Amino acid sequence: MGPMERLKMAPVVILSRPQLGENIGAAARAMANFGLSDLRLVSPRDGWPNKKAEAMAAGAAGVLESARVYPATEEAIAELNLVYATTARERGTTKEVLTPAEAAKRLRAATARGEKTALLFGNERAGLDNDEISLCDAVITIPTADFASLNLGQAVLLNAYEWFRSADETPPARIEHGPIHRKPTREELLQLFAHLERELEASGFLYPPEKHGNMVRATRATIHRARLTYQEVQTLRGMIVALAKGKHRVKKDG
Amino acid sequence: MGPMERLKMAPVVILSRPQLGENIGAAARAMANFGLSDLRLVSPRDGWPNKKAEAMAAGAAGVLESARVYPATEEAIAELNLVYATTARERGTTKEVLTPAEAAKRLRAATARGEKTALLFGNERAGLDNDEISLCDAVITIPTADFASLNLGQAVLLNAYEWFRSADETPPARIEHGPIHRKPTREELLQLFAHLERELEASGFLYPPEKHGNMVRATRATIHRARLTYQEVQTLRGMIVALAKGKHRVKKDG
């Protein structure tokens, strides 16, 4: 399976009896941001296509154009292998309840096995009914604070985000070092230390002598923590030159 | 620090020069869902308060009511210790770029040290300017697919979600077992196996004899995988009785 085929294997998003075009558009936009493209609508209240959906989808018009409409949930899920229902609250039936992150992990695993997967969302007013939930493998509930009032577009967004995140390799933290932003070598850093300490010594800042070692070490620690680029090391040395010159000038004047 | 004080320590959300009331309302709603309550607005374009924001906030009116308005970003962040700027794209400056998950982890750690933290969002049209970014400790960029077009409310939602998630203890997968949904004991499960196998034997299903052991083990594996509740075990036994009765009736009739 190539990367394009894998992309097509992203979960289908099914909206059951959605009411507001705005929410359908918001769902499409959320999907496109996170690599989902197959949208299915079960009897949308205001018909299809829908101008308000198009306005809200912004650049994600392609998702709306290829969306398919079905008369009933059974038909929308017919050829799929794994379907998760999203619900806001517990429903009494004894179904497995997953977090979006756990669901995304399982959807990835199913996709890797070649299964077709989907996320099923209920409408704005009533969510999914119990019959629709009974057609699904498990339920996804988004953990929230006591105030729990996510709208349809928000629920699609968070699930789409978790799907993308489950295979995303973005490093948690990074600093972009372009050609002019390379890290300094240790020698360049040691030259900075020597330059700064020489001028601080000359200025009388490193006083009294018994504290000299501690003060120098503390200053070096500060500089290390800043993780300077080569460019920033050069800028800092320029600052030291300028400030030291000023001091000498004052001395000469005085 | 008690739980209420900790809640108050959730990051402040600062919207810099927001344009549409709808987006301010969506941000407030996103915040309330994930336990954030301190909203600050830097010179909102359409003034404050804003009817459209109230309509969009749904039940999160409290967040809007306590929102404070500032003339400039510098004043909105003045008493804070750690501020992350959210941006959609790289900005050339050599700042650390964090994922929302990593940022949430660091915000939690700062909060635990007693620091006041914030998430700073730019406006719908232009995002944050470079001067505003230069006031912040680091940048958060939400990883997306090639189509990257999250609106302001969506960006607030995903960051608020990650904040909540970073301390959320919801188990990834669970089955709600209420008093009537307790797990069966092993004895109850073994009785089910015995009952089913006895009836399958009598019906001639477990044939030929040399495959008997494998068929029984495969059926037991299926039942284990279903992780039945006590209630479901009872229901299944009722089904076996009903089906077996049918068979006996047919025999008697035949």
* Chain A contact present for B123, CB below 8 A: no
**B143: chain A residues, CB-CB within 8 Å:** 164-165, 168, 170
Closest CA to A111 of A46, A43, A163: A163
Q: Which residues contact B208 (CB under 8 A, 6 or more apart)?
A: none
Q: How far apart are CA B17 and CA B124, in angstroms?
A: 9
Residues in contact with B160: Cβ distance below 8 Å, sequence separation at least 6, in sequence order: B13, B30, B31, B33, B34, B35, B36
Residue of A7, A63, A94, A234 to mutate, interface with B, max B Cβ within 10 Å? A94
pLDDT of residue B252: 47
Cα B50 to its chain centre, rounded Å, is 29
pLDDT digits (tens, 9 = 90+) for B170-203: 999 988 666 667 889 999 999 999 999 999 999 8
Long-range Cβ contacts of B224-227 (<8 Å, 24+ apart): B227/B175, B227/B183
Residue B254 has a pLDDT of 41
Q: Tens digit of pLDDT for each residue in A201-237?
A: 998 898 898 989 999 999 999 999 888 989 899 999 9
C-alpha to C-alpha distance for A201 and A209, rounded to whole angstroms: 10
The alpha carbon of B209 is separated from its chain's Cα centroid by a whole number of angstroms, namely: 51
Low-confidence ranges of chain B (pLDDT < 50): 1, 252-254
Q: What pLDDT, on a 0 to 100 scale, did the predictor assign at position B8?
A: 58
Torsion on CA atoms B2, B4, B6, B11, rounded to nearest 10: -170
Judging contacts by C-beta atoms under 8 Å, the chain A residues touching residue B101 are: 165, 172
A236 neighbourhood in chain B, CB within 8 Å: none
Using a cut of 0.90, tell me whether the model's pTM lies above it: no
Q: What is the pLDDT of residue A252?
A: 47
Report the complex ipTM. 0.86
Query: Given this model, what pLDDT does residue B116 score?
Result: 96
Is the preceding omega at residue A3 within 30 degrees of 0, hence cis?
A: no
Q: How far is B96 from chain A (nearest CA, A)?
A: 5
Say whether A147 and B33 touch across the interface (CB within 8 A): yes
CA quadruple B103, B108, B114, B118: dihedral sign: positive
Q: pLDDT tens per residue, chain A (254 residues)?
A: 455 555 558 999 999 999 999 999 999 999 999 999 999 999 999 999 999 999 999 889 999 999 999 999 999 999 999 999 999 876 666 788 999 999 999 999 999 999 999 999 999 989 999 899 989 999 999 999 998 899 999 999 999 999 999 999 999 998 866 666 788 999 999 999 999 999 999 988 988 989 899 999 999 999 998 889 898 999 999 999 988 887 555 554 44
Per-residue pLDDT at A90? 66
What is d(CA B227, CA B222) in angstroms, rounded to the nearest whole number?
9
Nearest-by-Cβ selection for B173 from A102, A144, A150: A102
**Phi, psi dihedrals of residue B174, rounded to the nearest 5°:** -150, 155
Which amino acid belongs to residue A183? K
Mean of all residue pLDDT scores within chain B: 90
